[in-house]
Amino acid sequence: MITRACDGIVKTLTKMNLSASHTLISSIPRNYYNTLADPNWRATMADEFQALVNNGTWRLVPRSPGANVMTGKWIYKHKFHSDDTLPRHKARWVARGYSQQYDINCNDTFNSVVKPSTIRVVLSITASSACPIRQLDMKNAFLHGHLEEIIYC
């Protein structure tokens, strides 16, 4: 089989260097201890923690014997506007659900999300009715759900 490489035909690759730089923002921290040094991240974590407390997301209880305790970690992210301005830092505390065992401390996994087809239907109805469309960001929307099970974190 004769190929281009055998005949010495080499096609040059032109690569584009596309990069965005955000010079005036703090970097995303790698761990909890690096976060404490930055006042922006520290304030964001305090807001997230206060939202967890205000919504009654958890109670401090003694560990029951034999309970599977899920660990958690902080996730950090920058939230940008479309013009690349930084409106806020975002910090979330998430439970590491992969430590659960099926039929021992969980029976079902479910993530409530909107299907793309539902979004298309709503947008087509509003466009055909000439209704105005607005977008909102609900902070801590996942905290408004209720669990029937007891989960130790």
SS3 labels along 52-106:
HHHCCCCCCCCCCCCCCECCEEEEEEEECCCCCCCCEEEEEEEECHHHCCECCCE
Residue with tokens 């690569």: 15
Per-residue pLDDT of the chain (153 residues; tens, 9 = 90+): 667 666 667 666 666 555 555 445 677 888 778 888 888 889 989 988 888 888 888 888 888 888 778 888 888 888 887 777 777 888 888 877 666 666 655 666 666 677 889 989 999 999 999 988 887 766 666 666 677 777 788
Domain assignments of the chain as residue spans, ordered by start: 21-144
Residue with tokens 């520290």: 42
Q: Are strands 72-79 and 88-95 parallel, antiparallel or unpaired?
A: antiparallel
